[in-house]
Amino acid sequence: MLRQLTVRGKNVNKIMNHLTIKSQEAIQQAQQVAADLQHQAIDTAHLLKGILLVDENITPFLIKKSAASLTTIEQGLDKILSALPKVSGESSPYLTREVNGVLQKPTP
């Protein structure tokens, strides 16, 4: 089981509750990617990687329709992720301000 995420020390359950199941799965994948790479902060690159891992149909289709190369995007994403700082020892994962902004429910 993945560790509890925080944003600035606060639990993100409120954010997760308004998301679809697929969105929650993408965040969980992003957290797993970050953990596998020894990253404490879960940033937009982790989120995109999580989306690509969870959604094997729609996202690649949309990328191809936009005349972009999925392979090039994945390679660039892996390069970005490998350049992020690593942590060792026990640490609590957290969402960056950018990811938190992406996930915030829009207000009417």
**67-85 pLDDT per residue, tens:** 999 999 999 999 999 999 9
For residue 81, give the 3-state DSSP assignment.
helix
Strand-pair category, 10-11 with 6-7: antiparallel
The class that CATH gives domain 6-102 is: mainly alpha
User: 2-6, 69-73, 75-79, 94-98: which range is least confident on average?
Assistant: 2-6
| C-alpha–C-alpha distance, residues 45 and 30, integer Å | 8
pTM of the model: 0.82
**Number of CB atoms found within 10 A of residue 16's CB:** 14
